[in-house]
Amino acid sequence: MKKLIYSVAAVAILAAAGFMIYQALNTSLVYFILPNEYANDPNNYKNKRLRLGGLVEDGSVDFNTNDLKLYFKISDSIKSYPVTHTGAPPDLFKENTGVVVEGRFQDGVFVSDNLLIKHTEVYEAPEDGKINVEALKESLE
Amino acid sequence: MRLTAIYIFITSIFTAFSTVFASAPINLQRLDAPQVSQQVIDRVLSLGQLGTASLMLALGIIIYALIAGVLGITRRNAQLQTSARYAAVATFLALSTAMMCMEAALLTDDFTVQYVAQHSSVPAPLWVKVVMLWGALEGSILLWAWILSLYTAILAMNTPNHALRPWALNIMQFVQLFFVLVLAFVANPFTLNASGLFVGPGPNSLLQNHWMMAIHPILMYLGFVGLTVPFAFAMAALITKRPGSEWMRLTRRWTLMGWGFLTAAIIAGGWWSYEVLGWGGFWAWDPVENVSFMPWLTATAFIHGIQVQERRRMLKSWNMMLIVLTFTLSILGTFLTRSGVLSSIHAFGDGPVGIFFLIFFLLVLFASLGLVVMRWDQVRDHSELDAVVSRESSYLLGNVLFLAMTFMILLGTLFPLIVELFSGEKVTVGAPFFNQMSVPIFLAIFLLMGIGPLLPWRKAEHQSVIRNLLWMCGVGIIAAAIAYVLGIRRVYPLITIAISGYNIASLGLLISAAVVPRARLSKRNSLQVFRQYAFENRRRFGSMIVHLGVIVTALGIMGASAYRIDEQVKVDFGTSTQFRSYELRAIDMFEEQVPGRGTVGANVEVWQNNRKIDTLRPRINVFVHDGVTQQQPVPTADVLYRVQHDVYLTLSGSLSRDQAFVILRVVQSPLVMWIWIGGFIMAFGTLYCVIPSASERKQERLAMQGSPTNSGNTIS
């Protein structure tokens, strides 16, 4: 009898713990994708927190020093999306630099709360204007 | 005598071999960089070759020590065993030589050694050169191995002659063998710089940027190695079929010291992260942080578990498994962070080393768990819990919670790997997961921490339990009510404050339960009695100090995470802006050029109620390596430390000379300072437990002389 109670209790606790872990994991997974991956399947990433990687598009950067809002477009040469970020651009933030922004899509605009500069050479000199997307992703990871 | 002679013969052959090997001429023609001094080029004996030779020497001695150690046991040959013990000292000397070679190479900018060429630089300040020994992968393994050899040597010379000693030393030597093999053949820090060029990026700017980096790794390895000692004795106890409590008693201090160092290392790591990483946080649930936290959790469980075993002869196999887990998790952590399988801000990057740590991890895990299974009849518990409400059951429940926490962190850390394996998607597990899981578990642990030590062993009287609980809950509710009145409305902070009050009451009850009856009996004043109690029951009182430190740290973490304010403000030079109760006045910008580093920053005065409190100098450091700009500029925070909250300033974006304004990131973290203070209290409490009281010292002296005392039952 005692054993039965213990085992039932153990199973119940394990089930509760498993459920809690599942819930917590589900809500806090952050997907790392490039703009074209989002474009392929936006519903899959709806309302999910994302790490979006890509290059800062030429001529897209605008930093408003009054409300400290940074606007730019992030691109992987296939697809690009507008990004808003609160805060000044980091020191090495330039056009065509690799960046990873963390946040969510809201009405087609990526709202970022964390902006990281990634330094790699893969995409610095694309030969025919085309970028190897897989290599780009690898290098931004 | 003959064996000592053989030993000396073998060492001298190694020394001769290494000297010949080391003095071979090396080609320095290609080292054309002007920074290499003539002194380095003229060196006949290359430090790199000398270092490799001392590693080889160490390897030879370790192999000898293992053979002598095992043969000494199987043949019951005391001389061989003695020889193996001296060999442990010799290993230490050989690895010390290697350490000195590396330091000499770093300090003289000997770029013929690849490690130095890659990770050091001529203009780096002296302290950076010194600590660069453990600033990168190969060097940090060398440091680990060296500390291991130091501990092994101390154990070999200092442990009383005990049946467990020979095997424990063999296990330590076996672990050393792994590290020295890795050093000699996989990650040799003394590899010569074949290309002759300055290939490396120089010292990592994040490490260079703060002195904390000098001590954090040392503390970490002192902790890991310290916890290797109880592991070695546990295995020795299984091998020699003596799975009682002796192995725990013999290693009690090592365990506590290892735990104390690990605690200090984790707190120091948090402080470093706070000061250096520029986001004003102290813990990001980053894989590197997680893998250092897991062994800490299992070690904490172990420290509590062994008390149950000492008192009640229970949990033998459980404790064995906890110490195996603690040791293997520290190895697994090294695999995860050094192999590139997990990306992390401070991972050391890919390398061939990882796979060897994985193999060693699996080997140790299966071998030691196999050993536990083989000895199952002896480690199985014969007694059962007498009552649900008792000291041992609260410790056991706490242990389960610590393990659940470890499992949860392991899952969260490895989950990205699992997802990528199955779906190919790249994910990270965000901090919310860890926070959601760990906060309730920790609160439950704190509940147990308060009541557990108040419960008697075996079976508690319900009346006294209820009386104590009433006191504790009363204080807890009052604390929460005060917090509520002061404006704290959120649930978890209120619970944390209530539980802290509950725990403070528990400490008060523990002390009064010890002091009041004694004072009544002896008719002395209670302060005197308290002082005597605190001095004589170091272990018990020390544990109270540690628990106090835990509460202080918990309150700090609660304040700094729940009520953190993080804003960006733009201030024109010469004007000021309001931030909460402070006025931030941007005075001017400054520039600094020292060899190896360029700095731009802003002088920002912090005013409150028309009174200047401090001038903060947040800045951006650019470290320069051999004339070339190196890595990313490092925004470096300046912090106003205050008791109630810190004001933390970093420069956001860039700062140039023609700029009329500065953009500041301002972080206000309430109570964050108390995390470090709590860590200090925990470390102090551990030290308090470890230093023996007068009566313990007397007993130990008797034990060393070989008189049969039953020390374990009286030291408590």
Per residue in B643-699, pLDDT tens? 999 999 999 888 888 889 999 999 999 999 999 999 999 999 999 999 887 777 787
What pLDDT shows up at residue B426?
A: 86
Average confidence (pLDDT) over B144-171: 93
Contact A86 B568 (CB under 8 A): yes
Q: What is the pLDDT of residues A9-26, one digit of tens each?
A: 889 988 888 888 888 888
Interface of B with A in 354-383 (CB under 8 A): none
Contact A65 B425 (CB under 8 A): no
Residue B23: pLDDT over 50: no
Q: What are the φ and ψ backbone dihedral angles of B510, each rounded to 5 degrees? A: -60, -45
What pLDDT shows up at residue B706?
A: 56
| Chain B residue numbers touching A92 (CB-CB < 8 A) | 632-633
Cα–Cα distance measured from residue B698 to residue B711, given in angstroms and rounded to the nearest whole number: 10
Shortest Cα distance, chain A CAs vs residue B644, angstroms: 27
**B32 pLDDT tier (thresholds 50, 70, 90):** very low
Q: Which of B432, B436, B661 sits opposite A65 (nearest CB)?
A: B661
Torsion of CA B518, B521, B527, B528, to 10 degrees: -90
**What are B20's two structure tokens?**
């010949």
Cα nearest neighbour of A13 on chain B: B404
**What are B83's two structure tokens?**
């020889």
**What are A104's two structure tokens?**
């969510």
Of the candidates B345, B229, B332, the one whose C-alpha atom is nearest the C-alpha of residue B634 is: B345
**What are B502's two structure tokens?**
């509950």
CB distance A87 to A67 below 8 Å? no
Cα nearest neighbour of B279 on chain A: A114
Contact B429 A29 (CB under 8 A): yes
Contact B430 A28 (CB under 8 A): yes
| Chain B residue numbers touching A118 (CB-CB < 8 A) | none
| Domain membership flag for residue A25 | no
Report how far Cα B632 is from the mean position of its chain's Cα atoms. 28
Q: Which of A31, A63, A89 sits opposite B425 (nearest CB)?
A: A31
**What are B157's two structure tokens?**
């010379």
Contact B426 A33 (CB under 8 A): yes
Query: Residue A124 maps to which CATH number?
Result: 2.40.50.140
- Expressed as residue numbers, the domain containing A102 is 30-140
**B20 pLDDT tier (thresholds 50, 70, 90):** very low
| Chain A residue numbers touching B661 (CB-CB < 8 A) | 65
How many domains does one find in chain A? 1
Cα–Cα distance measured from residue B308 to residue B263, given in angstroms and rounded to the nearest whole number: 22
Shortest Cα distance, chain A CAs vs residue B424, angstroms: 11
B267 Cβ partners below 8 Å, 6+ apart? Answer: B553, B675, B676, B678, B679, B680, B682, B683
pTM of the model: 0.91
Q: Which of B419, B428, B661 sits opposite A51 (nearest CB)?
A: B428
Residue B630: pLDDT over 70: no
Average confidence (pLDDT) over B232-242: 94
* Chain A interface includes B427 (CB < 8 A): yes
Contact A88 B437 (CB under 8 A): no
Q: What is the pLDDT of residues B311-354, one digit of tens each?
A: 888 888 899 999 999 999 999 988 887 766 665 444 455 567 88
Coil vs helix vs strand at A123: coil
Coil vs helix vs strand at B631: coil
Shortest Cα distance, chain B CAs vs residue A129, angstroms: 26
CA distances (Å), B448 to each of B42, B103, B547, in order?
65, 47, 11
Average confidence (pLDDT) over B75-101: 94
Contact A91 B411 (CB under 8 A): no
Residue B268: pLDDT over 90: yes
Residue with tokens 């190479």: B105
Contact A24 B437 (CB under 8 A): yes
Shortest Cα distance, chain A CAs vs residue B429, angstroms: 5
What pLDDT shows up at residue B196?
A: 64
| Chain B residue numbers touching A17 (CB-CB < 8 A) | 404
Give residue ranges of A with CB < 8 Å to any B CB: 17, 20-21, 24-25, 27-33, 49, 51, 63, 65-66, 68, 86-93, 117, 119, 137, 141
Count of CB contacts below 8 A, A vs B?
Answer: 83
Q: Which of B415, B632, B665 sits opposite A117 (nearest CB)?
A: B632
CB distance A78 to A35 below 8 Å? yes
Runs of H (alpha helix) within B339-457: 353-374, 376-379, 391-423, 431-451
Q: Tell which of A2, A5, A30 to mutate to test the B interface (max B CBs under 10 Å).
A: A30
Cα nearest neighbour of B428 on chain A: A30
| Domain membership flag for residue A5 | no
**B194 pLDDT tier (thresholds 50, 70, 90):** confident
CA distances (Å), B40 to each of B62, B108, B112, B138, B143, in order?
31, 7, 8, 22, 24
Residue A70: pLDDT over 60: yes
Contact B408 A21 (CB under 8 A): yes
Model ipTM value: 0.87
* Chain A interface includes B568 (CB < 8 A): yes
**What are B587's two structure tokens?**
């005075």
CB distance B226 to B275 below 8 Å? no
| Average model confidence (pLDDT) across chain B | 86
Average confidence (pLDDT) over B531-546: 92
Average confidence (pLDDT) over B418-424: 85
Q: What percent of chain B has pLDDT over 90?
A: 58
Q: Tell which of A19, A21, A37 to mutate to test the B interface (max B CBs under 10 Å).
A: A21
Q: What percent of chain B has pLDDT over 70?
A: 88
What pLDDT shows up at residue B351?
A: 64
**B418 pLDDT tier (thresholds 50, 70, 90):** confident
Residue with tokens 């697809």: A79
- Kindly report the number of other CB atoms within 10 A of residue B527's CB atom: 10
Cα nearest neighbour of B344 on chain A: A141
Shortest Cα distance, chain B CAs vs residue A21, angstroms: 7
Interface of B with A in 643-672 (CB under 8 A): 652-654, 661, 663, 665
Q: Which of B426, B437, B620 sits opposite A91 (nearest CB)?
A: B620
Of the candidates B385, B376, B254, B263, the one whose C-alpha atom is nearest the C-alpha of residue B313 is: B385
Sign of CA dihedral B271, B273, B275, B278: negative
Q: What is the pLDDT of residues B364-378, one digit of tens each?
A: 999 999 999 999 888
**How would you list the strands of the sheet with B661-670, edge to edge?**
B565-572, B661-670, B645-651, B638-640
Average confidence (pLDDT) over B68-94: 94
**What are A134's two structure tokens?**
């897989």
For helices B538-562 and B673-690, angle between their N-to-C axes, nearest 10 degrees: 170
Of B391 and A3, the one with more pLDDT: B391
Shortest Cα distance, chain A CAs vs residue B635, angstroms: 9
Contact A68 B568 (CB under 8 A): yes
Q: Is B337 exposed, middle or buried (0-12, 13-18, 19+ CB in 10 A)?
A: buried
